[in-house]
Amino acid sequence: MLNRPVTAGVHSALRRGTVSTLARVALLLPVLTFVAGCSTWSNWFGDKEEVLPDEPADKLYNEGVYFLNEKRDSKAAAKKFEEVDRQHPYSEWARKSLLMSAYSYYEARNYEESITSAKRYISLHPGSPDAAYAMYLVGASYFDQIPDVNRDQGRTERAIAALEEVVRKFPDSEYAASARRKIEGGRDQLAAKEMTIGRYYEGKKNFIGAINRFKVVVTRYQTTRHVEEALMRLTECYMTLGIIPEAQTAAAVLGHNFPDSAWYKDAYQIVKGQGYEPQENNSSWISRAFRKIGLG
């Protein structure tokens, strides 16, 4: 178990000097006076802040639950749960409260704090039955911060990585199914990013750059909704470059796997308009990519 950081107290330094015996006795008298009466300390140096005793762990925990369920104040709840950990760091209540603080921060959409608390829980209690949920909270916190497709998708990749860890380590847990759905949503987002860049390149007549982006969708994100458009765009780009066999293959694979797709109708017209028919070339990278996962 990792030790919880403990706030160090203030240490007073002792000055050493050449003080005579009589002087030491004289200095000791007021010290004895201070020990005998706390009011003297207060009068000489001002009121000292009162140190409140620790509250019972179960009381703090239940107050956190009250703020969470009754008051709908997730931030206040998180603070109560954190106080359990601060005042009773090695108790069972602290273990429960650490997970509850991660959940409370998630509910408050304070995702970074949720991730921090959940990761700390995992590091302190990796063998706990609730470790799966803590790991899921990390992935869900990243997932809920997935940005627009026009922005950097670093958080999307982190969400997928965290959620895949849930599925890998806890495949039979109640959180695995939800994690898989979020993974597919994240993969769809990454595919959408590639399509956005690919369309931009195609619009600028940078067909090689566009093909490379559409190729990522076909090879990595075949289970997303973007693969149909990617195959049609590949048909367009290859036909424009005069690479007819690849254009025919892209159209044929699209028609074979998605015969009712509107994108296939467009691809068919592109190939047919140049006097060709969709025809699969089995040595094409497109054919190999689809055979690899059994779609072709």
Question: How much of the chain, in percent, has pLDDT values that exceed 90?
Answer: 74
Q: Which two tokens stand for residue 226?
A: 């973007």
Q: What is the CATH number of domain 57-188?
A: 1.25.40.10
Q: Residue 85: what pLDDT?
A: 86
| Res. 56: pLDDT tops 80 | yes
Residue with tokens 């590949």: 234
Q: Residue 118: what pLDDT?
A: 97
Q: Residue 293: what pLDDT?
A: 58
Give start and end residues of each alpha helix (H) in 11-73: 21-36, 38-45, 57-69
Which pLDDT band, with edges at 50, 70 and 90, does 53 fall under?
low
Would you give the distance in Å from CA 248 to the centre of its chain?
A: 41
Q: Which residues contact 70 (CB under 8 A, 6 or more apart)?
A: none
Q: pLDDT of 244-285, one tens digit each?
A: 999 999 999 999 999 999 999 999 999 999 999 999 999 999
46 vs 107, residue with greater confidence: 107
Q: Is 3 exposed, middle or buried (0-12, 13-18, 19+ CB in 10 A)?
A: exposed
Q: pLDDT of 108-117, one tens digit each?
A: 999 999 999 9
Q: Which two tokens stand for residue 172?
A: 């039979």
CATH of 194-292, one of 1.25.40.10, 1.10.3710.10, 3.40.50.1100, 1.10.274.10: 1.25.40.10
Lowest mean pLDDT among 13-27, 36-50, 113-127, 189-203: 13-27
| Res. 35: pLDDT tops 50 | no
Q: The whole model's pTM is what?
A: 0.76
Lowest mean pLDDT among 64-78, 179-193, 274-288: 64-78
Q: pLDDT of 123-165, one tens digit each?
A: 999 999 999 999 999 999 999 999 999 999 999 999 999 999 9
- 288-293 long-range contacts (CB < 8 A, ≥24 apart) are 289/218, 289/219, 289/222, 290/218, 290/222, 290/253, 290/257, 293/222
Query: Residue ranges per domain, the chain?
Result: 57-188, 194-292
Q: How far apart are the first and last CA of the chain?
A: 51
Same fold, 57-188 and 194-292: yes
